[in-house]
Chains A and B, each alone.
Chain A
Amino acid sequence: MLTVRYFAGAREAAGVASEQLEVGGPTPVAALRRALAASRPGLAPVLSRCALLVAGSRATDDTVVPDGALVDVLPPFAGG
C-alpha cells in the first residue's frame, strides 16, 4: 500500500489531494507512473511532466518504491 499525494495542477487533474494505492509490494517508479495514468486518465498528460518524490527524494523511473512509502506528485511551474 502506497500513499500518493497530488499537488497543484496534479491535484486538479487527479481530482483528489491524496489516495491510498494497493500495488502489491515494491514497485518501480515507471510501473507506478503507468498505474497512476491508467487509473486516472485525466492525470496522464500532467503526470508526464511531474516530479515524483519518494519519501522526499527524487525518484527516477528505475527507483523501486518500497511498500508503505509516501509518494508526492509535483508539477513544476516557472511563473513569477
Chain B
Amino acid sequence: MTDPVTTGAAGARTLPPLVAPGPELSPDDLARYARHLSLPGVGVEGQRRLAAARVLVVGAGGLGSPALLYLAAAGVGTLGIVDDDIVDASNLQRQVVHGVGDVGRPKTASARETLAGVNPETQVVEHRERLGSANARELLAGYDLVLDGSDNFATRYLVSDAAELAGVPVVWGGLYRFQGQVATFWAAPTGGVPGVTYRDVFPDPPPPALAPDCATGGVLGALCGTIGSVMATEAIKLITGAGRTLLGRLAVYDALDLTWRHLTVGPDPSRAPVTTLPDDAAYATFCGLPPAQPADAQASDAQAEVDAGPGRPASGTVTPRELAGLRDGAAEGDGPFVLDVREDWEVAIACLVGAHVVPSGDFLRGDVAAATARVTGLAAGRTVHVLCKSGVRSARVAAVLRDAGLDARSVAGGIVAWTRDVDPTLRTY
C-alpha cells in the first residue's frame, strides 16, 4: 500500500548551518576527510563546521553506539557522552562501541577509548552521570545539538524540555523489536521554520503497564545501526546545513518489512512553551513511575516498581530479601512456592533453584484457566511467589492468579533484584 505524499512544501525545511566553520584544515585532515570534501553541501567549509561542532549524545547504548562511531569518524570536534551505566554482556549484541573486554566498565570510558581509536582528533567528554533535572541545563549549555538515544520515557521528556530551554535541536530515535522511529525536533529553529518538539507529537507517555517492555520485547541489534546512522546523518546535516532535515517529519522504519514511512509532524498550538524544568520526581510521576527511582535502574526495572516503590513494598509483592528469609527459615522440602514466569532461555542464564517454571505467556494468552489450575494444584494452598526478570511480567501474572483466588505475590525487581540483593553469583542478562 502506498502512503499519501506527506513531504509538504519540498525544501521548506532547509536550515542554515548550525555551526560556524572552525580553522583551516591541515593537509592531514584534507586527506582524511577527502570523501567528504568533494560532496556538494559538505565540502571543505562543511568539514570545518564539523570540526567546530559540539554534539551531546544521551546514552552510549544501542543508538548512541553507531551514532558516536559515525560522528567521530566524520570529524565532529567534540562529542559529549551522558551515561551512568556499566557495560553488560547483554549489551554487546547491539551496542557496537563496546567490546567483550569492556564488560563491567563504565560505558562512557569504554566509548571514549573506542572513539579515540577511530579518530584521536575528536575530543570526547565523559559525563558519567544520569541525565536529570538538576544537571540537564548545564550539560546541554555546552553543546550545539543533542542526540537522544536514551532508553526511557522520563529521560526523553527531560531531554526535549531541556533542549527547548537551551534552544538547541534534538535528533531523536526510538527502538522496539524490529521497528525504529527517528525525527529531528527543535522548538524554535533558525531560518523562520516552524518548530516542533517531542512533546508536540507525544504529549503523554504510555502508562507503565502498557509501555513496551524491553525484557520481553527485545530489539534487533542491526536495527540500532540503521536508526543510529540516520541520527548521525541528521546531526551532520544540521551542522553543515546540507539537504533537508527530518524537522517537521517523523520517519518510521520496519526492519522485517524493510519499509520506511514518513509522517508530517507539527507544533501543537495548545501546548504551553517550556519555561522551567520540573524536578526528577515530576518527570517520574508524569511517566507513572514512583519518584525515588534507583539511579541504576533501567526503564523496565523502574516499571517493576510500580506496585512497590523501593523500600515500601505494597501488598501483592515480596522483596527478594523477604523471599530469601522465607527460604532460609524453611525446613528441607518445605520452602516457599516460587513460580518463575520467565522463558526457558532466561532460566538457562540464571535460575532460582526449586522454582517451578511456567512462562508468563501461559497466564496472559491462550488457555489461562488451565495454567491457573495447574498452579493452584502445585501451590496446594501455599502463597505463590511470582518471579520474572525485573518484576513487570510477574506483577501481571500475580494479578491474574489473585483474580483466580490465589494468594500470589510478585517478587519486586525480579531476578535482577535477587541477584543484586541476595545472590550476586548469578549471571545477569
Q: Is the CB of B263 within 8 A of A74?
A: yes
**Hey, what's the 0/1 contact readout for A23-43 against B, CB within 8 Å counting as 1?**
000000000000000000000
Most central of B62, B64, B212, B267 by chain A CB within 10 Å: B212
In the complex, what residues of B have CB within 8 A of residue A7's CB?
252, 261, 263
- Is B152 close to A, CB under 8 A? yes
User: What CA separation (Å) do A9 and B177 show in the bound complex?
Assistant: 10
Q: A45-B210, A49-B207, A80-B59 are in contact. Are A8 and B201 (CB under 8 A)?
A: no
B416 at interface, CB cutoff 8 A? no
Query: Is B88 an interface residue, CB under 8 A from the partner?
Result: no
B214 touches A79 (CB 8 A): yes
Task: Contact check, A74 vs B201: say whether CB atoms are below 8 A apart.
Answer: yes
Given the known interface contacts A53-B263, A56-B264, the answer about A77 and B176 at a Cβ–Cβ threshold of 8 Å is yes
Judge if B87 is at the interface, Cβ distance under 8 Å. no
**Contact between A74 and B252, CB atoms less than 8 A apart:** yes
Contact B179 A51 (CB under 8 A): no
1/0 per residue, CB under 8 A from A, across B100-140: the answer is: 00000000000000000000000000000000000000000
A80 with B212, Cβ < 8 A, contacts A57-B268, A60-B270 known: no
| Size of A's binding interface in residues, CB under 8 A | 28
Chain A positions within 8 Å of B175 at CB level? 77, 79-80
Q: Which residues of A contact B345 (CB under 8 A)?
A: none
**Residue B330 CB within 8 A of the other chain:** no
Q: Contacts A70-B4, A79-B214 hold; do A49 and B206 have CB atoms under 8 A apart? A: yes
From B143-151, B352-360, B398-406, B417-425, the one touching the partner chain is B143-151
- Inside 8 A of B201's CB, which chain A residues have their CB? 51, 53, 58, 74
Closest to B248 in A: A56
- Find out whether the CB atom of B176 lies under 8 angstroms from the CB atom of A79: yes
Chain A residues within an 8 Å CB radius of B332:
none
Q: Known interface pairs A7-B263, A17-B1, A48-B210. Does A78 touch B203 (Cβ–Cβ under 8 Å)?
A: no
* Contact assessment for B150 and A80 in the assembled complex, using a CB-CB cutoff below 8 Å: yes
| A18→B153 contact, CB < 8 A | no
**Chain A residues in 8 Å Cβ range of B174:** 76-80
Give Cα A13 to B59, complex, Å. Answer: 30
Compute how far the CA of A49 lies from the CA of B62 in the bound complex, rounded to whole angstroms. 24
> Is B61 at the interface (CB under 8 A from chain A)?
yes
B3 contacts the other chain (Cβ, under 8 Å)? yes
In the complex, whether B188 has a CB less than 8 A from a CB of chain A is no
Q: How far is the CA of A65 from the CA of B211 in the complex (A)?
A: 27
Is A21 close to B, CB under 8 A? no
List CB contacts (< 8 Å) of B46-77 with chain A. 59, 61-64
Bound together, the chains give a CA A54 to CA B262 distance in angstroms of 14
A16 to B269, CA, bound (A): 31
Q: Are A76 and B252 in contact (CB under 8 A)?
A: no
B55 to chain A, nearest CB (A): 16
Tell which of A3, A8, A56, A58 touches B254, judged by Cβ atoms closer than 8 Å: A8
With a cutoff of 8 Å between Cβ atoms, the chain A residues found around residue B267 in the complex are: 57
Binding site for A on B (CB under 8 A): 1, 3-4, 6, 59, 61-64, 148-153, 155-156, 173-176, 179, 181, 200-207, 210-212, 214, 217, 219, 248, 250, 252, 254, 261, 263-271, 299
User: What would 10 more interface pairs be, CB under 8 Å, given A7-B263, A78-B174, A79-B151?
Assistant: A18-B1, A48-B210, A49-B207, A57-B266, A57-B267, A70-B4, A74-B181, A76-B174, A76-B202, A80-B63
A residues sitting closer than 8 Å to B (CB atoms) are: 3, 5, 7-9, 11, 16-18, 45, 48-49, 51, 53, 55-58, 60, 70, 72, 74-80
- Between A and B, 19 residue pairs with Cβ closer than 8 Å are A8-B181, A8-B254, A9-B212, A18-B3, A51-B204, A53-B201, A57-B268, A60-B270, A72-B263, A74-B181, A74-B263, A77-B176, A77-B179, A77-B181, A78-B155, A79-B151, A79-B219, A80-B150, A80-B151
